[in-house]
Amino acid sequence: MATRTVHAVCSHDCPDSCAVLVTVDELSGKATRVAGDPSHPVTRGFLCGKVAKYLDRVYSPDRLLYPMRRRKGVAKGPVQQSELEKVFERISWDDALNEIAARLKNISDEHGPESILPYSYAGTIGQLGYGSMDRRFFHRLGASQLDRTICSTTGGAAFNAVYGMKMGPAPEDFAHAKLIIAWGANIHGNNVHLWPFIEEARRNGAKLIVIDPYKTRTAALADWHITIHPGTDAALALAMMHVILRDGMQNDAYIAANTHGFAQLAEHVRSYTPEFAAAATGISAADIEKLARMYMAAKPAAIRMNYGIQRSENGGASARAVAMLPLLTGAWMHRGGGVQLSTSGAFPFNSKALQMPELMLASPLGRNARVINMSSLGGVLTEENNPPVKALFVYNSNPAAIAPNQSAVLRGMARADLFTVVHEQFLTDTADYADILLPAPSFLEVKDVQGAYGHYFVQISQPAIAPLGESQPNWWLFGQLAQRMGFPEACFRDTADELIDAALKISAPAFAGITRERLEREQRVSVAAMGADALPTFHAPTESRYGTNASEKFPLEMLARKADNWMNSTFANIPTHQTMEGRHLGPDLGLLEMHADDATPRGIRDGDTVEVWNSRGSLTLRAHVNGSVQPGVVATRMGWNKLAADGKGVNALTSERLNDLAGGPTFYSTLVEARRLS
């Protein structure tokens, strides 16, 4: 069999941005194998479990392959795969684009262009797929702008406040560390290419400490798993600073040369004693002292912090406090020392040229459009707004499953007067509400350029196979739509190569000499690495065991976790991935993991069907009484609503309350109660 090998890049929302070698059968044009590129210094020849089985997703019989329109008279709501043809009818791209353009034009004329809301996130993190022609289109239209806060904004703002940029030790440098703290970071589950470097460090005597309220795969493999009450990370980090300064262990020379505001910080942390933090975090004062001393003594000491700690009400303060720790110790001086949240600050792609925000001035608005926080979608669709949202255009996201306050989101999406377009690979919970459904390609089918948030290589991804069916990338779709709307600007006719050139056209030193032609030749190029102040304060989240919203009615803190074998809601419908996650095909009860101290008084035993609820909603789950969580904490996992027996997902219980920095969501500040049903 004659085959060729194509270099692609995994564009899923994951720090590792793996280099993928795709074997393609020359005769059929079909991909027959995907593998990690052994020559990539971080991918090192392997892929995670999710993408190792990627061809099951690409060639799934459930892929959406053609544009479709909701049949007349069919109400919006959950659709099973077998009902697809009953609910939607196949149409041509021409008909789909003409209809969308006409509807958007009418809505804009009648209610103003801000009544149109794009909704997208990181379904793909390639530059073209993530944000290029789509932004140009919505800017030119004058549509509401979406504040894309749902994942990383708060942590990014925290790093910008402390360091002015988002960077950290390269993954390869973790091999040199003598102590690694995984803080809210399930490295083994969803940053697996860092793991070999940690193993190498451990072979050389390093210790791994995991700070996490949940016993993740990473925690189970650690030298020390410190369980912490959700949302209290700031208290722990501030108490570590207290111990370091109380005992004079700080690196004064480093602090004097490299920081501002040390005197204020020193004064500020005086009240954060280990005893105070013990009461907040549930970690003993002795363990907090021990942790601070271990952190000080180890050289180099690396912290891998992940976005989990920012997803509670005090998340911004938590992220800033943890980010400050290496500044007291001077850990940055040692190769492998410091703190890594994201390396994305190393990639100065020219987003202005790609997205052209100045086009808003050419829109009917003639000014910058209003901004809507994506974590508030439920309220935006169901409460009064001026102008009201009358059209929702969803791509790269599945808000019906992943947005907080799910019942409001679904109520809003079910509105008959809301015109909804969804660009997707599968019939997701969001696709169920589409008026027009458009087929999207996988990363094997498109060209793109991509940085990373877990390493320092910029890469080009080549299309390995032709798009399945009639699927088209979103940059093509929005260029076509712009032309049908009559937008005269030439930028709407840019090709993929022209968009890649625009992304790379920047004078920043990190991108010096990096061109599309060079990336086509070399596949990847390493970018140069490394580059405010306010004092973070610990407040117990209002919706937590110590918060002002604590109540006897809802005493359990709930972790709305991500599954290990899918990515938020992506992959949740693929049978192989369900099997890996221990789920069964078809409607199933999700798990409610709990501690025996909480289960026993409620008469709940392992395997019982339970209801978990709060004032926002309820879920029916199966109790799993195991060692994954501490007393007072329960955990359940995100997935597709319609694959759950009760048709609901974990966000039925989360709130739209925003956190303390950059408007991030508070998935991990959620109180619930549970009871046995059977």
List residues near ligand SF4 by CB under 6 A.
10, 12, 14, 16-18, 47-48, 50-51, 192-193
Q: Give whichever of 14 and 162 is closer to ligand SF4, judged by the CB atom.
A: 14
Least distance in angstroms from the C-beta of 192 to ligand SF4: 5
List of residues 6+ apart from 383 with CB closer than 8 A: none
Is the distance from CB of 367 to CB of 360 less than 8 angstroms? yes
Is the distance from CB of 566 to CB of 250 less than 8 angstroms? no
**Residue 165 to residues 161, 205, 342, 459, 529, Cα–Cα distance (Å):** 8, 31, 10, 21, 11
Least distance in angstroms from the C-beta of 190 to ligand SF4: 7
Task: Give the whole-angstrom CA distance, residue 271 versus residue 282.
Answer: 17
Least distance in angstroms from the C-beta of 315 to ligand SF4: 23
Residue 575 DSSP SS3: helix
Q: What is the dihedral of CA 350, 355, 361, 364, to 10 degrees?
A: 180
Q: Give whichever of 14 and 418 is closer to ligand SF4, judged by the CB atom.
A: 14
Q: Give whichever of 14 and 437 is closer to ligand SF4, judged by the CB atom.
A: 14
Least distance in angstroms from the C-beta of 33 to ligand SF4: 14
The token pair at 402 is: 């992943």
Q: Give whichever of 50 and 539 is closer to ligand SF4, judged by the CB atom.
A: 50
DSSP 273-300: -HHHHHHHHS--HHHHHHHHHHHHH-SS
Task: Give the whole-angstrom CA distance, residue 42 versus residue 502.
Answer: 27
Region class of 416: left (phi > 0), else alpha (psi between -120 and 50), else beta: alpha
The token pair at 171 is: 């993954």
Least distance in angstroms from the C-beta of 132 to ligand SF4: 20
Residue 370 is which amino acid? R
Least distance in angstroms from the C-beta of 457 to ligand SF4: 12
For 62-82, give one letter per residue: b (16+ CB within 10 A) or e: ebbebbbbbeeeeebeebeee
List of residues 6+ apart from 619 with CB closer than 8 A: 590, 592, 611, 612, 613, 636, 644, 646, 648, 649, 650, 652, 653
Q: Give whichever of 178 and 577 is closer to ligand SF4, judged by the CB atom.
A: 577
Q: Give whichever of 14 and 400 is closer to ligand SF4, judged by the CB atom.
A: 14
Q: Give whichever of 50 and 516 is closer to ligand SF4, judged by the CB atom.
A: 50
Q: Give whichever of 51 and 107 is closer to ligand SF4, judged by the CB atom.
A: 51
Q: Give whichever of 332 and 443 is closer to ligand SF4, judged by the CB atom.
A: 443
Task: Give the whole-angstrom CA distance, residue 564 versus residue 323.
Answer: 26
Least distance in angstroms from the C-beta of 134 to ligand SF4: 22
Least distance in angstroms from the C-beta of 561 to ligand SF4: 17
Task: Give the whole-angstrom CA distance, residue 432 versus residue 642.
Answer: 10
- Choose among 343, 150, 330, 154: nearest CA to 234: 154
Residue 308 is which amino acid? G
Least distance in angstroms from the C-beta of 8 to ligand SF4: 10
Q: Give whichever of 51 and 141 is closer to ligand SF4, judged by the CB atom.
A: 51
Q: Where are the beta strands (DSSP E) in 84-178?
A: 88-90, 116-119, 145-147
Task: Give the whole-angstrom CA distance, residue 369 versus residue 387.
Answer: 12
Is the distance from CB of 332 to CB of 324 less than 8 angstroms? no
Least distance in angstroms from the C-beta of 16 to ligand SF4: 4
Task: Give the whole-angstrom CA distance, residue 144 versus residue 314.
Answer: 28
Least distance in angstroms from the C-beta of 129 to ligand SF4: 14
Least distance in angstroms from the C-beta of 11 to ligand SF4: 8
- Choose among 364, 363, 385, 367: nearest CA to 376: 385
Q: Give whichever of 46 and 276 is closer to ligand SF4, judged by the CB atom.
A: 46
Q: Give whichever of 568 and 620 is closer to ligand SF4, judged by the CB atom.
A: 568
Least distance in angstroms from the C-beta of 49 to ligand SF4: 8
Q: Give whichever of 125 and 240 is closer to ligand SF4, judged by the CB atom.
A: 125
Least distance in angstroms from the C-beta of 567 to ligand SF4: 6
Exposed, middle or buried: residue 204 (CB in 10 Å: 0-12, 13-18, 19+)?
exposed
Task: Give the whole-angstrom CA distance, residue 105 versus residue 107.
Answer: 6
Q: Give whichever of 48 and 141 is closer to ligand SF4, judged by the CB atom.
A: 48
Task: Give the whole-angstrom CA distance, residue 169 versus residue 501.
Answer: 29
Task: Give the whole-angstrom CA distance, residue 24 versus residue 45.
Answer: 18
Q: Give whichever of 355 and 570 is closer to ligand SF4, judged by the CB atom.
A: 570
List of residues 6+ apart from 44 with CB closer than 8 A: 36, 38, 193, 196
Q: Give whichever of 13 and 173 is closer to ligand SF4, judged by the CB atom.
A: 13
Helix residue ranges per DSSP H, 122-281: 127-130, 133-141, 153-163, 187-190, 195-203, 217-220, 233-246, 252-258, 262-268, 274-281
Task: Give the whole-angstrom CA distance, residue 170 versus residue 342.
Answer: 10
Least distance in angstroms from the C-beta of 565 to ligand SF4: 11
Least distance in angstroms from the C-beta of 570 to ligand SF4: 9
